[in-house]
Amino acid sequence: MDAVSLALLLVASFLSSIMGTMAGMAMVIMVPVMVFLGIPIHIAVATGRFSMIGIGLGNIRMLSRNQKIEPKYVLPLSIAGTLGTLIGASFLKYISENALENIIGVFIIGISVLALFEEKLRPKGERHKVTFRHHALSALAGFFIGSYVGIVGGGAATIMIFVLVLAYGLGFHQAVANQKAAILPISIIATLVFIYQGMIDYRIGIPLFIVNILGGYVGAILILKFKPIWLKFILVPVSIALAAKLIFF
């Protein structure tokens, strides 16, 4: 990758890490951008997932300090999610490049639509008493989200926020804070699988990782100040356009 392309990728990564912290769509943007800049789709998914750890490290401390993260919400999602991502990440390299581009494109469009109408779909009830049934629902969702992270990844944060609201009745900001804590170990496990398979391009991944730490920190500061509903109206059209390029071009 030449210097100009790398610079464009770093700028896109910094902006997407800020917006991803606030709206949960960083990988939805990053994977298509990386493919557009000439990075093979499998390398883009694996390297992008590695760089997402930087976002987690950049925002989890700020969010945990300002928003209460509770293990009872995090553990079912993260434990089941790590098992799911082991399976998903292990199968990634066996999917053909064309098929993977189509799969990711279709999922990105679906996640984008879900994110756009998330406010209308989200139940308005208050937090309820947590029972085993709620943990079981969270764990089941976590397993499938983990599998999704291992293969596609983009939009997993949006789904996880939705699960936390549905399963436990959390408010938006607390769901975001707990989602960050739950997704981090899932991303780490997926990254370890990709490292073992030799699918990460560290020449790109390390600069992206560093940039994402900064972007995640900035995004965490911003999300504590206001609810970024307006971001979706920017991210959704962009992500759908990028997904269309993956599928049709």
DSSP notation for 175-228: HHHHHHHHHHHHHHHHHHHHHHHT---HHHHHHHHHHHHHHHHHHHHHHTT---
CB 174 within 8 A of CB 64: no
pLDDT over threshold 80, residue 79: yes
- 70-74, 103-107, 231-235, range with the lowest pLDDT: 231-235
Question: What's the structural domain count of the chain?
Answer: 1
User: Residues near 188 by Cβ (< 8 Å), separated by ≥ 6?
Assistant: 53
pLDDT class for 149, splitting at 50, 70, 90?
A: confident
Q: Which of 22, 20, 64, 16 is nearest to 172 (CA)?
A: 22
Which sign, positive or negative, has the C-alpha torsion 227, 240, 141, 189? negative
Predicted confidence (pLDDT) at residue 226 exceeds the cutoff of 90: no
Task: Give yes or no for residue 43 having a pLDDT over 90.
Answer: yes
Region for 169 from its dihedrals, namely left if φ exceeds 0, alpha if ψ lies in -120 to 50, beta otherwise: left
The DSSP output letter for 143 is: H
Tokens of 177: 């804070």
Task: Give the lowest-confidence range in 35-49, 165-179, 187-201, 217-231.
Answer: 217-231
- Euclidean distance between CA atoms 194 and 188, whole angstroms: 10
User: pTM of this prediction?
Assistant: 0.81
pLDDT, mean of residues 37-65: 85
Backbone φ, ψ for residue 67 (5° rounding): -130, 135
pLDDT band at 122; cut points 50, 70, 90: low
- Mean pLDDT of the 88-101 span: 88
Per-residue pLDDT band for 248 (boundaries 50, 70, 90) equals: confident
Q: Is the pLDDT of residue 20 over 60?
A: yes
Domain with 231 in it = 3-248
- Amino acid 181: pLDDT: 83
Q: Percent of the chain at pLDDT above 70?
A: 85
Long-range CB pairs of 241-245 (<8 Å, 24+ gap) are 242/28, 242/29, 242/32, 242/33, 242/36, 242/108, 243/32, 243/104, 243/105, 243/106, 243/108, 243/109, 243/112, 244/105, 244/109, 245/32, 245/36, 245/105
Q: For residue 125, what pLDDT is reported?
A: 52
Q: Kindly report the CA angle at 155 between 154 and 160, in degrees rounded to 5?
A: 130
Contact of 28 with 154, CB cutoff 8 Å: yes
